[in-house]
Amino acid sequence: MDHSNYSSFHGFILLGFSDHPNLEMILSGVIAVFYLITLVGNSTIILACHLDSHLHTPMYFFLRKLSFLDLCFTSSIVPQMLVNLWGPEKTISYAGCIIQLYVYMWLGSVECLLLAIMSYDRFTAVCKPLHYLVIMSPNLCLRMIIMAWSISLANSVVLCTLTLNLPRCGNKLLDHFLCELPAMIKIACVDTTTVEMSVFALGIVIVLTPLTFILISYGYIVKAVIRMKSKAGQRKAMNTCGSHLTVVSIFYGTIIYMYLQPGSSASKDQGKFLTLFYTIVTPSLNPLIYTLRNKDMKGALKKLLGSHHESAKGKRS
């Protein structure tokens, strides 16, 4: 790739996989497919949860918020990524890069906290079923969502501002396919130890604290399930909680590997593929994970598809 044409460009050059043009073509197709699955899958969940009155419960309220979050998360990244993969231009404007960095960090942080909130919802449903609807009141659910978005916004503002204030001495080559925090830190021309440690410290607050809360919640859930006398109740609890735990494992596993390694990181290409995994693959898998093991959701989807089929037949006749 010839960088001389970009000497007067005021934005950033996203190298991505430009050293492997054949891989770029394959990736663009794969990413486009996963993005389509994400759009269709998460939009369907939002619609089903909204239209089916049986799904107007705290659990599906949070699932609807997770689907909306996944739609926003991938949409803040994928369109720009596909433009860069498909064409010879690998650039992003300075303003576009800043917006992407702040939004990406904000939404990623919200997902960490939202998964923790969902674990509390499952803990309450399994361990305190008689008081579930009283504890998980609409007011509390809304306040927890607002808290998650507010804390995440503060985290994004602090980390992104610290990173953007690092002098870059004219460096504009980002060895990534998006404006990501570690990639932005790497092009700084000063010692970045303080910023890296800040990223690590806030990463513990945003990533490890919610994960610890999730693990504690599931410890109590497992104890409650073991005490259940009904096998059907055990299966229902494990199916519901198993879906959430699968999503947690996939999302947190890659996030921890990427962000909680002070002074070191994954290899160059490995880091890029890990980023692809938790930004594109995981949001597309979430709808499948939550619907395939959930009878209520499958029932709502059948009703949704059935009503659509009936309306289509009515129009034809």
Domains in the chain, CATH or no CATH each: 10-312 (1.20.1070.10)
* Residues pairing with 12 in the sheet: 92
- Strands 12-14 and 91-92 come out as antiparallel
Sign of CA dihedral 33, 35, 38, 39: negative
Going residue by residue through the chain, which has 317 residues, state the pLDDT in tens, using 9 for 90 and above.
555 555 555 788 888 777 777 788 888 899 999 999 999 989 988 988 888 888 888 988 999 999 999 999 999 999 888 888 887 778 888 899 999 999 999 999 999 999 999 999 999 988 898 999 999 999 999 999 999 999 999 999 999 999 999 898 888 888 888 888 888 888 998 988 888 888 888 888 888 899 999 999 989 988 888 888 777 777 777 777 777 888 888 888 877 776 665 544 455 666 677 778 878 888 888 888 777 666 777 777 777 776 554 554 555 55
**Residue 225: per-residue pLDDT:** 86
DSSP-derived 3-state class of residue 267: coil
Element (DSSP H or E) covering residue 108: helix 94-127
Angle between helices 231-259 and 282-292 (to 10 degrees): 170
Classify residue 19 by its DSSP letter. T
Contact by Cβ (8 Å): 15, 183: no
Contact by Cβ (8 Å): 15, 51: no
**Residue 81: per-residue pLDDT:** 86
Largest CA-CA distance found in the chain, in angstroms, rounded: 71
Q: And the tokens for 132?
A: 């579930």
* Residues pairing with 91 in the sheet: 13
DSSP-derived 3-state class of residue 190: coil
Contact by Cβ (8 Å): 294, 243: yes
pTM comes to 0.85
- The end-to-end CA distance of the chain, in Å, is 58
> Exposed e or buried b for every residue in 145-167, given b needs 16+ CB within 10 A?
beebbebbbebbeebbebbeebe
> Exposed e or buried b for every residue in 13-52, given b needs 16+ CB within 10 A?
bbbbbbeeeeebeebbeebeebbebbbebbebbbebbeeb
